[in-house]
C-alpha cells in the first residue's frame, strides 16, 4: 500500500496522518496459518494476525444476505437500490443492532462458530476452544464516524487473559467504508497503559449519587465507556507506531489480542459497513460470565460490580 495514493481518511471526524511514518499496511500471516507455534510467535511479535481468504466466501455471502434482509425489513436500507448493495438511508439513525442482527442467524453462526474459524483457533491456541455466546455486530451506515481507540480487555477481562477477538468483515470493506485499524506495537505498551488495562468498564462507585441509576440500568456507564482516547491522531503521536489497516475482502479474518489498541476509520461511503466481533479462548480456562450462556447478561445491571470509591 502506497500512502501517497490513499484517499483522504478520517476517524472520529479527524483527518488521519497518512505519511509513511504514521500509517501503513497490515502484515499478512497466511503463510503460517497451518503452524500453531508460528501463529503464536507472530501474535507475540505483532499483537494481531491478518489472514486474508481464510474463511469461506460463500458462507460470508450467506451471512451478509441474512443481515441485509433484516436491515431492509427494519427500514434501514435505501429502497431505491438493491438490498444486496447495502445502501443506507440518508441520515439513518445509527443503532446498536447486535441482538436483532445475530439472534437465530444460522449463516452467521456457522461462519463464526464452526468450520475454518474453530479449526484455526484450535491450532492457534493449541487445544479445545470455546467461544463467547454473545456475538457483537457492527452495522455502520454510510457517512458515520468510526469506533474510538480502545483495548478489549476493559470490556471482558473477568476470565482468562488468553482471549482473542476475531474481527470478520461481512463483505468487502474498502478504505472509503472505513475498516478496522490497529496501532502498531501497541500490545507492547502495557507498562504505559497499566492503569487503563486493569480497569473494568462495568465497575461503578456505590457511594456516588448516580449509583441507583447504574444498578437499575437507567444509566449504562459511570463517566467512562471504555475508550482509551477520543483522538486517534494525538494518541498515535503520544504512543508512537503507525496506524495499520488495509482494504478487506470477504473471507478475510483479522485476529488481535486483548491488549492491542484498535479503532476504525469513518465510513465515508453510502453503504453499510458490516462486520462482526467474536471472542475465543481455551475451553479449559475461565470465561467472563457476562458473555456466556443462553442469555448473556452483557453490560446490563447484572454485570455491574459496585465498590466504594
- Using CA atoms, how far apart are residues 242 and 236, in angstroms rounded to an integer? 7
Query: CATH code for 22-307?
Result: 2.60.120.620
Query: Where do the structural domains in the chain lie, given as residue ranges?
Result: 22-307
For every residue of the chain, DSSP letters joined together read: --GGGPPP-EETTEEP--STTTEEEPPB-GGGTT-HHHHHHHHHHHSEEEETT-S-HHHHHHHHHHHHHHHHHTT-B-TTS-GGG-BBPTTPPP---HHHHHTT-HHHHHHHHSHHHHHHHHHHHTS-EEE-S--EEEEE-TTB--PPPB-THHHH-SS-S-EEEEEEESS-B-TTT--EEEETTGGG-TTTTHHHHT--TTEEETTSTTHHHHHHTSSS-SS--S-S-S-HHHHHHHH-S-EEE--B-TT-EEEEETT--EEE--B-SSB-EEEEEEEEEETTS---GGG-SSS--TTSGGG-EEE--
- Using CA atoms, how far apart are residues 8 and 86, in angstroms rounded to an integer? 23
Look at the block and give the residue holding cell 481464510: 54
**Cα angle: 95, vertex 172, 170; to 5 degrees:** 50
pLDDT of residue 3: 57
CA–CA distances in Å: residue 242 to residues 20, 230, 248, 259, 262: 8, 17, 18, 16, 11
pLDDT of residue 4: 58
Strand partners, 289: none
User: 144 is written with which cell numbers?
Assistant: 458515520
Look at strands 243-245 and 180-183 and give their pairing.
antiparallel
pLDDT digits (tens, 9 = 90+) for 38-90: 999 999 999 999 999 999 999 999 999 999 999 999 999 999 999 999 999 98
CA neighbor of 156 nearest in space, from 281, 266, 288: 288
Neighbouring CB atoms inside 10 A of 216's CB total 9
Per the CB < 8 A criterion, the answer to whether 140 and 178 are in contact is: yes
Q: Please list the pLDDT of the chain residue by residue as tens digits (309 residues).
A: 655 577 899 999 999 999 999 999 999 999 999 999 999 999 999 999 999 999 999 999 999 999 999 999 999 999 999 999 999 998 777 766 688 999 999 999 999 999 999 999 999 999 999 999 999 999 999 999 999 999 999 999 999 999 999 999 999 999 999 999 999 999 999 999 999 999 999 999 999 999 999 999 999 999 899 999 999 999 999 999 999 999 999 999 999 999 999 999 999 999 999 999 999 999 999 999 999 999 999 999 999 999 999
Q: Which residues, including other chains, have CB under 8 Å from residue 262's CB and lie 6 or more apart?
A: 149, 150, 151, 167, 180, 181, 182, 183, 256
Please give the model's pTM, rounded to 2 decimal places: 0.96
Per the CB < 8 A criterion, the answer to whether 56 and 249 are in contact is: no
pLDDT digits (tens, 9 = 90+) for 192-223: 999 999 999 999 999 999 999 999 999 999 98
Strand partners, 278: 166
Strand partners, 163: 281
User: 293 is written with which cell numbers?
Assistant: 450462556
Look at the block and give the residue holding cell 500490545: 187
CA neighbor of 291 nearest in space, from 147, 61, 130, 173: 130
What are the φ and ψ backbone dihedral angles of 308, each rounded to 5 degrees? -85, 125
Q: Measured in whole angstroms, how far is the alpha carbon of residue 194 from the centre of its chain?
A: 21
Amino acid at each position: 500500500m502506497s500512502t501517497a495514493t490513499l484517499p483522504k481518511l478520517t476517524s472520529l471526524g479527524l483527518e488521519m496522518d497518512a505519511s509513511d511514518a504514521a500509517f501503513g499496511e497490515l502484515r499478512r500471516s497466511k503463510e503460517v496459518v497451518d503452524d500453531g507455534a508460528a501463529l503464536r510467535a507472530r501474535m507475540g511479535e505483532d499483537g494481531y494476525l491478518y489472514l486474508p481468504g481464510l474463511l469461506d466466501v460463500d458462507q460470508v455471502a450467506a451471512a451478509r444476505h441474512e443481515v441485509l434482509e433484516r436491515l431492509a425489513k427494519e427500514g434501514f436500507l435505501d429502497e431505491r437500490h438493491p438490498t444486496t448493495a447495502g445502501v443506507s438511508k440518508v441520515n439513518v439513525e445509527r443503532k446498536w443492532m447486535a441482538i436483532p442482527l445475530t439472534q437465530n442467524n444460522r449463516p452467521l453462526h456457522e461462519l463464526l462458530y464452526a468450520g475454518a474459524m474453530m479449526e484455526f483457533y484450535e491450532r492457534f491456541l493449541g487445544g479445545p476452544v470455546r467461544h463467547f455466546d454473545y456475538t457483537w455486530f457492527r452495522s455502520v451506515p454510510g457517512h458515520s464516524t468510526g469506533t474510538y481507540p480502545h483495548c478489549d480487555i476493559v470490556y471482558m477481562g473477568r476470565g482468562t487473559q488468553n482471549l482473542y477477538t476475531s474481527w470478520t468483515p461481512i463483505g468487502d470493506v474498502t478504505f472509503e467504508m472505513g475498516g478496522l485499524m490497529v496501532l502498531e506495537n501497541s500490545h507492547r505498551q502495557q507498562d504505559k497503559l497499566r492503569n487503563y488495562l486493569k480497569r473494568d468498564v462495568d465497575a461503578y462507585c456505590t457511594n456516588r449519587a448516580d449509583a441507583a441509576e447504574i444498578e437499575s440500568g437507567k444509566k449504562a456507564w459511570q463517566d467512562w465507556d471504555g475508550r482509551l482516547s477520543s483522538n486517534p491522531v494525538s494518541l498515535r503521536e503520544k504512543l508512537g507506531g503507525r496506524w495499520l489497516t488495509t482494504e478487506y475482502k470477504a473471507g478475510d479474518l483479522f485476529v488481535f489480542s486483548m491488549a492491542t489498541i484498535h479503532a476504525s476509520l469513518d465510513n465515508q461511503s453510502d453503504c453499510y459497513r458490516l462486520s462482526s466481533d467474536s471472542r475465543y479462548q481455551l475451553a479449559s480456562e475461565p470465561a467472563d460470565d457476562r458473555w456466556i450462556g443462553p442469555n448473556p447478561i452483557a453490560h446490563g445491571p447484572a454485570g455491574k460490580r459496585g465498590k466504594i470509591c
